[in-house]
Amino acid sequence: MASVSVDEAMRRAIELAARGLGTTSPNPVVGCVLLDAEGRVVGEGFHAYAGGPHAEIVALAQAGERARGGTAVVTLEPCDHTGRTGPCSLALIQAGVARVVIAVPDPNPVASGGAATLRSAGVRVDLGVRGAEAEAGNIAWLTSMRRGWPYVIWKYAATVDGRSAAADGTSMWITSEAARIDVHALRGTVDAVVVGVGTVLADDPRLTARNLRDGSLAIRQPLRVVVDSDGRTPAEARVRDGAARTWVATAAEVGAGPDGRVDLPALLAALHQRGVRAVLLEGGPRLAGAFLAAGLVDKIVGYVAPRLLGAGPTAVVDAGVTTIAEAIDLEFVDVTQIGPDLRITALPRKREG
């Protein structure tokens, strides 16, 4: 087998890490490639599920004695603590690895320190190879750990003229089945789906991750969260069925903001405490506006249908913008056609001052 460069190995490790997206939380996604002393790939691994073996352990098991004197290429700094599994830093040292190449340092104070432990044992440690790419692949977990509340993705569906429903309130279906299948795949990558009580009362959604072709449920279901300041969610609402866990978050439980409604930063902090690292905000327009006005949205995924309504509810209202100078500027990072619709991915630009 031909040798590969460290850069090539890190690219492969990032690909491997992505396989764990949606199943590892509250842990990060991590990929690892082990090279022997001649630079040949002798082991690969990724973290598949919380509580399972870490990427380095999987790769070391494949490599066996061939890891001795070799290089471990890993997307995140190896952990340095004992949780449900032992420290990966110690496992790498015991395997006789001579060099560890890390894309991103671990921001979790409980698990960080692996690089220092490796160096103290005489292992060469290099940091930052393909760091930006590895960071992007693990952005929800990294962001959540650094600031103490989840990464928030606002998802909406609308017509070209920005309508989320017709004038009579009908909204099924604005976008195509292909777009809805894509949304269910997106739900499968997050830890919680959040809606307002108005959406529950109007649409009675299930908020589960499903295969729309046969109706089957995905193996892992996100927590369903209803932001319901006054506790108006009906007992018979479909979000209260047994298909997934549900939290009806009231102002009495979470805390109230100045407007008497659920305090959104407190809600996100509470979700973080529950192990939620990524949130999909699905509705409705008033709740989306409140999140945007508070600067709590990290990414926007919009599904735009090639249709016009000319009237009816818009996808977002009351986002704190009263004049053009206050507009929330976005950076488009991807535009992809999904069936007849467009999926637009954008990042809110940070405001100065």
CATH assignment at residue 29? 3.40.140.10
Sign of CA dihedral 48, 51, 54, 57: negative
Number of domains in the chain: 2
pLDDT surpasses 50 at 353:
no
Same domain, 204 and 114: no
Per-residue burial over 12-43, b = 16 or more CB atoms within 10 Å of its CB, e = otherwise: bbbebbeebbbbbbebbbbbbbbbbeebebbb
Q: Could you tell me which of 327, 314, 196, 349 has the C-alpha nearest to residue 262? A: 196
Instruction: Give the Cα separation of 278 and 311 in Å (integer).
Output: 33
Whether residue 79 contacts residue 66, with contact meaning beta carbons closer than 8 Å, is answered with: no
Last residue of a domain, one of 112, 139, 166: 139
State the average pLDDT over residues 286-315: 95
Where is the binding site for Zn(2+), in residues? Answer: 54, 79, 88
Characterize the bridge pairing of strands 31-35 and 71-76. Answer: antiparallel
Where is the binding site for substrate, in residues? Answer: 171, 187, 203, 207, 210, 282
Phi-psi region of 287 (alpha: psi -120 to 50; beta: other; left: phi over 0): alpha
Same domain, 132 and 156: no
Cα distances from 292 to residues 41, 99, 259, 343, in angstroms, run: 46, 44, 16, 19
pLDDT surpasses 80 at 146:
yes
Known catalytic residue at 331:
no
Query: pLDDT tens digits, residue range 75-90?
Result: 999 999 887 778 999 9
Where is the binding site, in residues? Answer: 54, 79, 88, 157, 171, 173, 187, 199, 203, 207, 210, 229, 282, 284-290
Where is the binding site for NADP(+), in residues? Answer: 157, 173, 199, 229, 284-290
Query: pLDDT tens digits, residue range 231-278?
Result: 999 999 999 998 899 999 999 999 999 989 999 999 999 999 999 999
The CATH number assigned to the domain holding 319 equals 3.40.430.10
pLDDT interval class at 37 (50, 70, 90):
very high
Return the pLDDT at 51: 86
Return the pLDDT at 115: 95
Marked catalytic residue, from 8, 44, 56, 77: 56
Neighbours of 325 (CB within 10 A): 6
Neighbours of 161 (CB within 10 A): 13
Instruction: Give the Cα separation of 89 and 126 in Å (integer).
Output: 14
Instruction: Give the Cα separation of 222 and 20 in Å (integer).
Output: 15
Instruction: Give the Cα separation of 343 and 336 in Å (integer).
Output: 5
Query: Residue 220 belongs to what domain range?
Result: 148-348
Last residue of a domain, one of 110, 139, 168: 139
Average pLDDT, the chain: 93
Question: Residue with structure tokens 């894509």?
Answer: 182
State the average pLDDT over residues 289-297: 95
Same domain, 89 and 225: no
Note whether residue 179 is domain-resident: yes
Same domain, 216 and 308: yes
Return the pLDDT at 224: 96
pLDDT surpasses 70 at 351:
no
Same domain, 77 and 155: no
Query: pLDDT tens digits, residue range 151-204?
Result: 999 999 999 999 998 998 888 789 999 999 999 899 988 999 999 999 999 889
Same domain, 122 and 213: no
State the average pLDDT over residues 97-124: 94
Note whether residue 86 is domain-resident: yes
Same domain, 155 and 293: yes
Return the pLDDT at 308: 95
pTM of the model: 0.90
Same domain, 29 and 152: no
State percent of the chain over pLDDT 90.
Answer: 80
pLDDT surpasses 80 at 94:
yes
Whether residue 36 contacts residue 159, with contact meaning beta carbons closer than 8 Å, is answered with: no
Same domain, 129 and 257: no
Phi/psi at 54 (5° precision): -75, 165
DSSP 216: P
Note whether residue 175 is domain-resident: yes
pLDDT surpasses 60 at 352:
no
Last residue of a domain, one of 97, 118, 139: 139
Return the pLDDT at 273: 94
Note whether residue 241 is domain-resident: yes
Same domain, 14 and 124: yes
Note whether residue 94 is domain-resident: yes
Of all helices (H) and strands (E), which one includes residue 224? strand 223-227
